Each structure stands twice: as C-alpha cells, then as structure tokens.
Amino acid sequence: MTNESLLLGIDISTTGAKALLINSQGEVIASATTPLTLDRPRPLWSEQHPADWWEGVVSSIRQALAEAGAAGEAVTAVGLTGQMHGLVLLNESGEVLRPAILWNDQRTAVQCDTIRERLGKERLIRITGNDALTGFTAPKILWVQENEPEIYAQTRHILLPKDYIRYKLTGDYAMDRAGGAGTLLFDLAQRTWSPEMLDALEIPAEWLPETFEGTAVTGTITPKAAETTGLAAGTPVVGGGGDQAAQAVGVGAVQPGIVALTLGTSGVVFAATEEPLYESDGRFHAFCHAVPNRWHFMGVMLSAAGSLQWYRDTLAPDTSFTDLTAEAETIPPGSEGLLFLPYLSGERTPHPDPLARAAWVGLTLRHTRAHMTRAVLEGVAFGLKDSFTLLQNAGLETIHQVRISGGGAKSPLWRQILADVLGVELVNVSTTEGAAYGAALLAGVGTAVWPDVDAACAATIRFTQVTGVGDTAVYDQLYSIYQQLYPALQDSFHRLRS
C-alpha cells in the first residue's frame, strides 16, 4: 500500500463521474470513471438526477483508491470540477427538489429574452460579461419560477452540479468563482454575486452560496461522507473550478498570452486575462478563472472534431481516420479552392445561431475525397480562427503559444493546418487527464503543496510535441473568403428551417 501523499481531483461531467489521484510531483497514480446517463423527458430538455452524480463519485473514489493501493488518509486534499451552468435546487433540509437542468438544455429561450428586456443587452454584458444564452443558470431559475411555482416556493438553496457534490462531501453550501461567473448572476469585475442581477430577476440573495477562489479551502470531509467514500474525515476540499477553467489549469493556460485549444467533438478556445475583458456583442464568454484574481475569455465551436467524425461515419465509414488524413496530406493547402463550413450543429462562436448549417463551397469535378477531407480539417481551423480574431479584437492582442488537447490533436496534419491558419506555435503537453488534473492541482495549491497555480503548472506540465508555423499566405487569403460565407448564406439557412 502506498504511503505517499496524494491529491484527488473529482470531475462531474455530463457523461461520467471521474476520480483522479496524483502525487506531489504531478504524476497520475490512479483514475476511475463511472458512466452517467442523460434524461431527455421532452424535446430540447436535458436533465440528470443529482443522486446519480453522488453514487458515481463514491464508486469512482473507491475504485481509484483501490487502484492506487491507498488508504483514504493518503489523500491530503480534494479539488472539484465539472459541468457548468446546471441548476440544482434544494429545500431547507438540503433535499433535491427536482432533476438538475443541464448546460445543454434548450428550453429557456423565452426566459433569455426576459433577462435582456429587464436589464438591456448592453447593461447585461457590462455586468456579467455575457449575453443571456439558454445554457446559463439564470434563465433556468426563471423557467422554474414561471413553470413550476410549487418547486420554486420550496427552494432555499441554488447550486451547480459539482457544488452539490461539495455539499455531500462537506455539508457546506459553497461555490467557486469560475462556476459562479457562469450562472449569469455574477458581477464579473467584482467576482461576486450581482445585486442588480438578483433584483432584476427577483432571485433571493440568501439562496445563493458563498463563493471562493479556486484554491481556497471551502470545507472538510464529514464523518458521514468519509464512511461512504473511504476518504478521511477532516480532509480539506478546495473551491476548484468549472470544467473549462480546470481544464485550462490542467494544461497550464493560466497566464495571458497562453491559449488553451481543445479539439474535441466541440472546439473550445480559452484565454486567461489579467483583468475582465468584454466582447461588446457577447459573442465570447467572459468568466472568472479558477486562478485567483484572473479572468478568461472563451469561445465555443459546436462541431470541431465532430465534423471529421460525421464526415468519416457518413461518407467513408470503412476508412480509418489515419488513412483519410494521409490522403488529405497529398492535397496542397487550400484544397484547391474548396471550403467547408463546419456548422453541422448550428454554431455558438462567433455566430450564436442554432439554424446555421454546414456546406462545402467551391466543389468542382477536379475535387476528390482527399480534397473534401482536407477542406473539413481546414474549415474547422478557420472556425477556430474566428475565436482568435474575436480575442484579439477584444483586447488580447498578443498570443505567444497555443496549448492543444483533445482527440483531434493527435493528427500531425491537423495540428500543422491549425498552426498555419492561426499563425502561432502549437504545443501538446504531458497532462492528458483534463479538468480532473487541473482540479487536483488546485487542491495542491490550496494545501501548500505548491505556492500558487503558476508554480504548480510549471512543476508538473511538460511539452511533448511542438508544431511550428509554416506557410500562412494561402490560408490568410482563404480566411477572408471564409468569413464572408456565413453572412452570405445566413438567410438561406434560416429559410431552409421549414
């Protein structure tokens, strides 16, 4: 049985409850994930039962401890991360009142309009850093207020998914500031709840928990939770952060000029800032970072590596991704005038349009499957460049390095295309456990394993691959054409809805 001190990162994602153990050198000792399922009781709805999260967390913690051969006493601190924006409602006794409404639930369009009407869009963005979107927590609260008044009348506590797990572990109602900023109820600059937002939406301030920086200790493991999980009573639990903020800590995107790019099913561009920045139209998310007294900008592309997955599954199901990208490598940059719009699921950044659609533009008899494959890779890169353009226009003028992760980052060709389109060096890093790893690092900083988050990242994260910038001229020309396609096709996309 191991005698070394361990840090535990817990990640409550939409699909699984993960427990990750690392040592004080940042080495992964054990990892376990318990699958979670979604409920979709009506079209556009997305819910989960908080009891399932807790059962999953308990199972994963016990599995990870067993894999590590460690007793609960070996864990010196716990960090939390997980899906943002979800709504958990509790009564006076801390009992769950209804299934949690998740980040990807789309029922609240009317409530988003209500929020804009009450605050004014410009004032809303100036307070919170964001426009009202269906994914955020505030419109979900209004939906319950209007559609389930009997539930709303019993409500006494509002939490996010990971903070429900915090409550089960510690008995305390608390929330990290990165997560709080994602509710649309935060004053972004002040890093706390906004009285103006709460008054406008008629939400009692006493229902909201105290908020903490990501490295602050928010409570300790209770004897009851210790008996259930196998952890030791009294173990500190730190604030942690929302999944994207913790993911950024996990790859070291904690200082201005270093951007995290996640090339998964969706694509996320994440940039740390020293002060709160605002995108005037709310096309970019602006939240508090999990790093104390830092903020971040975030753009989300709905179909990044998901575009390549759809393309392979639909048009070349018997061909491996390796073979497809090998074919594409024989085609020159620019795919000989073929462009792909990657809006297979609508889009969020920079076009918050659920009716946006995908398209190839410029097809000729000369173009082959290899051209189409490369055009998909390049189209996703152009879509991500939209977020980088917004970043720079909003005030983050210098980008020194992009740290890339996610399934799409495994492709050398795609990495090179991205480096050339973005005009910046890409690096892969040694840490591949994502948000849970970042949560464990935050736990270590909160208990003085490292003096601050910068030091924790410097001590544990190493570069494994570097992709330098090649020829950017062709892509610079094509990007200007790409930018014109959505405005030109927007009306057609909307008319095609019917």
CA distances 403 to 6, 23, 190, 273, 391, Å, are 26, 23, 29, 16, 16
Token duo for residue 395: 């005030």
How many other β-carbons are positioned within 10 Å of the β-carbon of residue 400?
11
Phi-psi region of 234 (alpha: psi -120 to 50; beta: other; left: phi over 0): left
What CA–CA distances, in Å, run from 477 to 284, 333, 351, 397, 448?
25, 11, 21, 21, 50
- Which contiguous run of DSSP H or E holds residue 297? strand 295-301
- Pairing relation of β-strands 217-220 and 236-238? antiparallel
**CB-facing half-sphere around the CA of 481: CA atoms within 13 A:** 16
Report CA 164 to chain centroid distance, whole Å: 18
**Strand boundaries in 125-216, DSSP class E:** 157-159, 174-176, 186-187, 192-193, 210-212
* Cα separation, 130 vs 185, whole angstroms: 10
Nearest one of 53, 157, 180, 16 to 95, comparing CA atoms: 157
Apex CA 25: angle with CA 54 and CA 465, to 5°?
95
- Name the 3-class secondary structure at 25: coil
Distance of CA 162 to the CA centre of its chain: 13
452 belongs to the catalytic site:
no
Please pick, among 52, 163, 176, 243, the residue that the annotation labels catalytic.
243
In whole angstroms, what is the distance from residue 166 CA to residue 240 CA? 10
Report the b/e string of 100-133 with b at 16+ CB within 10 A. Answer: bbbbbbebbeebbebbbebbeeeebbebbbbbbb
Distance CA 413, CA 341 (A): 19
Catalytic center residues? 243
